[in-house]
Amino acid sequence: MRSVDIFYSELTLLHREQIIPWVLVGLLVAMVFAGFSGRIIIKEKRAGALWASDEARVLIESLKQQAAAGSETARSPGAVAYSVLSMPVSKAATPLEGLAIGQADLLPDTYRLSARGVHTFLEQIDPENSLRLVSGNFDVAFLVVWVLPLLAIGFLFDVVVGERERGVLSLAMVAGASAGRFIWHKWWVRFLLLAAVTTVSIVIAAWIQEPAWTATTAYVLAGWILTSVIYLALWCALALVVSTGAGSSEAAATRLAGAWLVFVVLSPAVINLIAGNVMPSPSRVELTATLREATEQADKAVAAERDRWFFDHPDLQGDMDRRAYYLSVARSEAGIEKIMAPLLEEFVQNARDQQDVIELMKYLSPGTLTFRLLTSLSGSDGRQHANFRDAVVANHRDWRDFFVTRLETDAPLTAEDYDRLPTFVAPQIDGHQLILSSSVPLLLMLALTCLLCLLGSRKLRSTDLILGAYSPAGSR
């Protein structure tokens, strides 16, 4: 029997069983819906960041005109830095970030910088939508990691044991045909159908996210497709191996469901639990208490400095000189930041250590490995946010020094100074570099897939498999 005839007969069988319209089309519809869901989430975040940026731009232009007109407030570095102006800085938009929301609901994508200490904006950890955080995001990454293995199991759990139970393998053997060749053709038909629908679905979801593609988008999309197809092939190969050794279709389905539960549900939870216990987070109660104590100490220092100033200027019974007041504010903020910086750095280092532990343990679970790869490609993993945070901290130093230097030298702001405000350059992702960094995990997952396929192929050569020696009836 020709390969084309086997492929055609298998497609006819799948169509007759209504597998194609109800499962494959269902996957396509779910992927498209997930693409729209991710687009809405990302669009909301980008709209908020754009609104904040436009608002700050209008305020800067207004201050520039007031400084040119001689306004005292607009020309005061202290007033502008500590009371009037705060600059929003946002994480760079990454291609296809809506396909994998990742930690975007937990970690802020926008900070509002002022000349005050970093503790005033780095602790913005409240999610924008806590209900969505509890229920989780319905995105394409969720469908790939959680649902795709279930489809592979549903398509292939009985690819061997089912044909043996129906007597098809025995008939093929009597007719002189190769049972292994027959099974492999069925396996390839079902795998290619799932892979084709998965690829088309991801492309459509990507088009929904980014109608205009760039070279980086193409690299990210290629990484998405490659990762998803290899992950699918791994589960299809596992289904083949389990089906060759199961005594019944029910036993094969139960074993594969157990494997899905272990590698997709339990293993990621255990990995996160281990990472949280090996590298426990510092106490946020301690952080809050330290901030309160540092603020009280700074307030006392400012009060003492204010008393000394009035003692040195007894003729001034009213308000403190504007420059002297903001100099005291600057010293107060510097004192608070000096106390808070080590504790904040402890939180940052803890997050990095937890990421390192998860990076080492992700190979224990194909689900965790695939999810890490997909969120890395979409720029929504913890490391991308950490790079953004580091860039924000560096920009904050430039922003603070810009105003404090002018405050200490008693140099009023000019209209030209507003054109020289420090600008923030958000770190960009390199699609080509992301593909290269993902190559080792993908090759390991592909090697495991090939190993499972070789094991299944070896079992398919066994006559006992075809006669049913692995089943309870055959063993008797």
Using one digit for the tens of pLDDT, what is the confidence trace for 229-279?
999 999 999 999 998 888 888 999 999 999 999 999 898 888 878 877 776
CA distance 381 to 372: 7
Residue 43 scores a pLDDT above 80: yes
Enter the pTM of the model: 0.81
Smallest CA-to-CA distance from 153 within 265, 249, 14, 253 is with 253
User: Which residues contact residue 403 at a Cβ distance below 8 angstroms, ignoring those fewer than 6 apart?
Assistant: 77, 78, 80, 81, 115
Phi, psi of 256 (to 5 degrees): -70, -40
CA distance 452 to 23: 25
Q: Which two tokens stand for residue 33?
A: 């819906």
Q: Give per-residue burial for 118-136: e unless 16+ CB within 10 Å, then b.
A: bbbbbbeeeebeeeeeeee
Angle at 254 between CA 252 and CA 255, to 5 degrees: 65
Residue 222 scores a pLDDT above 80: yes
CA distance 41 to 455: 44
More confident: 293 or 26: 26
pLDDT score of 148: 94
| Confidence bin at 66 (pLDDT 50/70/90) | very high
Average pLDDT over residues 391-418: 89
Average pLDDT over residues 280-301: 60
User: Which residues contact residue 199 at a Cβ distance below 8 angstroms, ignoring those fewer than 6 apart?
Assistant: 225, 228, 229
Contacts within 8 Å (CB) and 24+ apart, 1-6 = 1/177, 3/185, 6/182, 6/185, 6/186, 6/189
Q: Give per-residue burial for 281-316: e unless 16+ CB within 10 Å, then b.
A: eeeeeebeebbeebbeebeeebeebeeebeeeeeee
Angle at 55 between CA 54 and CA 58, to 5 degrees: 85
Give pLDDT tens digits for 68-83.
988 888 888 888 888 8
More confident: 418 or 429: 418
In total, the chain counts a number of residues equal to 476
| Confidence bin at 120 (pLDDT 50/70/90) | confident
- Among the residue ranges 53-67, 379-393, 436-450, the one predicted with the least confidence is 379-393
Residue 406 scores a pLDDT above 80: yes
Q: Cα 179 to chain center, whole Å?
A: 44
Q: Give helix 25-68 / helix 179-209 axis angle, nearest 10°.
A: 30
Domain edges within the chain: 3-287+329-475
Phi, psi of 103 (to 5 degrees): -100, 15
- Among the residue ranges 152-161, 162-171, 361-370, the one predicted with the least confidence is 162-171
pLDDT score of 475: 37
Give pLDDT tens digits for 158-191.
888 887 887 777 776 665 567 777 788 889 988 9
